Amino acid sequence: MMFAVAIDGPAAAGKGTLSKRVAAHFGFAHLDTGLIYRATGARVLGGENPVDAAKTLRAEDLARDDLRTTEVAQAASKCAAIAEVRAALVAFQKDFAARDGGAVLDGRDIGTVICPQADVKLFVTASDEIRAERRFLELSGKGQEVTREGVLKDLRIRDQRDRDREAAPLAAAADADLIDTSDMDIDEAVAVAISTVGKVFRRR
Q: Site residues (CB under 6 A) for ligand CDP?
A: 11-12, 16, 33-34, 37-38, 73, 76-77, 80, 107-109, 158, 162
One-letter amino acid for residue 19 of the chain: S
DSSP class per residue in the chain? ---EEEEE-STTSSHHHHHHHHHHHHT-EEEEHHHHHHHHHHHHHTT--HHHHHHT--HHHHT-TT-SSHHHHHHHHHHHT-HHHHHHHHHHHHHHHT-TT-EEEEESSIIIII-TT-SEEEEEE--HHHHHHHHHHHHHHTT----HHHHHHHHHHHHHHHHH-SSS-S---TTPEEEE-TT--HHHHHHHHHHHHHHHHHT-
Q: What's the closest the beta carbon of residue 158 comes to ligand CDP, in angstroms?
A: 4
Question: Would you say 3 or 15 has its CB closer to ligand CDP?
Answer: 15
Question: Would you say 162 or 189 has its CB closer to ligand CDP?
Answer: 162
Q: What's the closest the beta carbon of residue 202 comes to ligand CDP, in angstroms?
A: 28
Quote the CA–CA distance of 139 and 118 in Å, as a whole number.
Answer: 32
Q: What's the closest the beta carbon of residue 25 comes to ligand CDP, in angstroms?
A: 21
Question: Would you say 147 or 199 has its CB closer to ligand CDP?
Answer: 147
Q: What's the closest the beta carbon of residue 203 comes to ligand CDP, in angstroms?
A: 27
Question: Would you say 20 or 198 has its CB closer to ligand CDP?
Answer: 20
Q: What's the closest the beta carbon of residue 73 comes to ligand CDP, in angstroms?
A: 5
Question: Would you say 184 or 198 has its CB closer to ligand CDP?
Answer: 184
Question: Would you say 73 or 122 has its CB closer to ligand CDP?
Answer: 73
Taking the alpha carbons at both ends of the chain, their separation in whole angstroms is 9
Q: What's the closest the beta carbon of residue 44 comes to ligand CDP, in angstroms?
A: 12
